[in-house]
C-alpha cells in the first residue's frame, strides 16, 4: 500500500481507513479561517458492507491508498440496471450494477474508456476520465444579451445528468463536464 497526503485523495480512489477498504465518493478541500486550519471532507463507502461515512482528514495527514489492479475497459451499453464493460486486453465482458457505479453512470456514453479497479480479482471501483463531453438535450431558451459572465440555468444532458450552465448555451450543443465535481467546464 502507498501512503498519500489527504490533499491527494480523489473521487474513485480506494483508501484504507480503520482497517477497512473504502471507496471515495465525494472529496473536497475545506479551509476554515482563523485557527481552524484546512482539512479534506471525504464521503466514502465501505466496499464490503456498503456503509457510507463522512470523514474529516487534516491536509497534512497521510492515508493508506489501497493497491489495486486497474484494468482498461470500455463501456459498451446499458442493459436494464446493469452496465456492460469490455476489457481492452482480453475482450471479456463485465457487468456492473447501477448501485455499484453510484452516480458515475450519468457520465457514461457508449465507447467511453474507463479504468475498473480490481482488488483480489473482484471489481471494487470505476475511475472515470477527468472530464467528458455530453450533449445538451433540454434547457431554457437563450436570453437576449446573455454573456459568459451572466447567471446560470439548469440543462439536462443526454445521459440524464442535470448541470448548471451559462445562459448562452442552447439545446444540441456539446459541453465538457468535470466528472469529479459534476460542473460545467466549457463549450466544445
**Res 34 pLDDT > 80:** no
Is residue 96 domain-shared with residue 56, that is, in the same domain?
no
Distance CA 1, CA 185 (A): 34
Is residue 16 domain-shared with residue 31, that is, in the same domain?
yes
Q: pTM surpassing 0.75? A: no
37: confidence class by pLDDT, cuts 50, 70, 90: confident
Last residue within a domain, chosen from 26, 49, 65: 65
Owning domain of residue 58: 2-65
Last residue within a domain, chosen from 29, 47, 65: 65
Give the CATH number for residue 75.
Answer: 2.40.50.140
Distance CA 39, CA 57 (A): 5
Contact in structure between 63 and 19 (CB atoms under 8 Å): no
155: confidence class by pLDDT, cuts 50, 70, 90: very high
Q: Sign of torsion, CA 71 77 188 9?
A: negative
Number of domains in the chain: 3
Q: What is the pLDDT of residue 149?
A: 58
Contact in structure between 44 and 24 (CB atoms under 8 Å): yes
Amino acid at each position: 500500500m502507498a501512503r498519500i497526503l489527504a490533499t491527494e485523495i480523489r473521487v474513485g480512489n480506494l483508501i484504507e481507513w480503520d482497517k477497512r477498504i473504502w471507496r471515495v465518493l465525494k472529496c473536497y478541500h475545506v479551509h476554515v479561517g482563523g485557527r481552524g486550519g484546512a482539512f479534506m471532507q471525504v464521503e466514502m463507502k465501505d466496499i464490503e458492507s456498503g456503509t457510507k461515512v463522512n470523514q474529516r482528514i487534516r491536509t497534512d495527514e497521510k492515508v493508506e491508498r489501497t493497491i489495486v489492479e486497474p484494468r482498461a475497459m470500455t463501456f459498451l451499453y446499458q442493459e436494464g440496471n446493469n452496465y456492460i464493460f469490455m476489457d481492452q486486453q482480453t475482450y471479456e465482458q463485465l457487468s456492473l450494477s447501477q448501485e455499484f457505479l453510484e452516480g458515475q453512470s450519468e457520465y457514461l456514453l457508449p465507447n467511453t474508456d474507463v479504468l475498473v479497479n480490481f482488488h483480489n480479482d473482484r471489481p471494487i471501483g470505476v475511475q472515470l476520465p477527468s472530464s467528458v463531453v455530453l450533449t445538451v438535450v433540454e434547457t431554457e431558451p437563450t436570453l437576449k444579451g446573455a454573456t459568459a459572465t451572466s447567471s446560470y440555468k439548469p440543462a439536462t444532458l443526454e445521459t440524464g445528468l442535470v448541470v448548471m450552465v451559462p445562459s448562452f448555451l442552447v439545446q444540441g450543443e456539446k459541453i465538457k463536464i468535470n466528472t469529479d465535481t459534476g460542473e460545467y467546464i466549457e463549450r466544445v
